[in-house]
Amino acid sequence: MSFLQDAAAIEARSMQIIDGLLGDLPRGKEEKAIIKRMVHATGDPDLAWLADIHPRAVQAACEVFARGGKIIADVQMVVAGIAARAARLGVEVLCAIGEPAVAREAAAQKQTRAMAAMRHLARDMTGGMVVIGNAPSALYELGHLVRAGQAAPAVIVATPVGFVGAADSKDALPALGVPYITVHGTKGGSPAAAAAVNALCRLYLDRQK
């Protein structure tokens, strides 16, 4: 019972179990660290084989942190998951999903609030990180903004979940020409996105040592 109450011991044991489940996953050390955190956050080992990490994603994320770039999130659940670590790095996290202006625009355009929220913060994306953990429609809109030259993020973490649009929106990421981290298929979610960002924060701090 004392073991179950020790947070550090629980995490250490969890990582041992995950190591056993992943076996000889053919990924680099930093990529594997990100994947392990996503598996830990979701309890889903399948994510390890669905994860897709662009070769420049870690470096691009570290550059965002180094220059104090912004993180744009699609939903507050992502914000809640990354706010503490981002604050330690002096990185501002923005989310417009709850803004009244966003709700009005979404209603007027007959679109999701997630889409309107991406447009609302498009200018803040330049040189920063966009994190989409919930809404496929947000990722579709982000893709439109990037292709139109209206948004220029340095890196994208996108793990929208669901059966309508999630897989297709993630499959379109490579064509955007922006380093990314994603989980292909219908799986993902805000915990996976937040875990990936937190893992990137850890890797950045490790590189500073």
Active site residues: 40
Q: How far is CA 56 from CA 49, 63, 72, 154, 165, in A?
A: 19, 11, 19, 10, 26
**Is residue 169 within 8 Å of residue 158, measured between CB atoms?**
yes
What token pair was written down for 207? Answer: 């590189």
Sheet holding 155-158, edge to edge: 51-53, 180-183, 155-158, 129-132, 71-73, 93-94
Contacts of 84 (CB under 8 A, 6+ apart): none
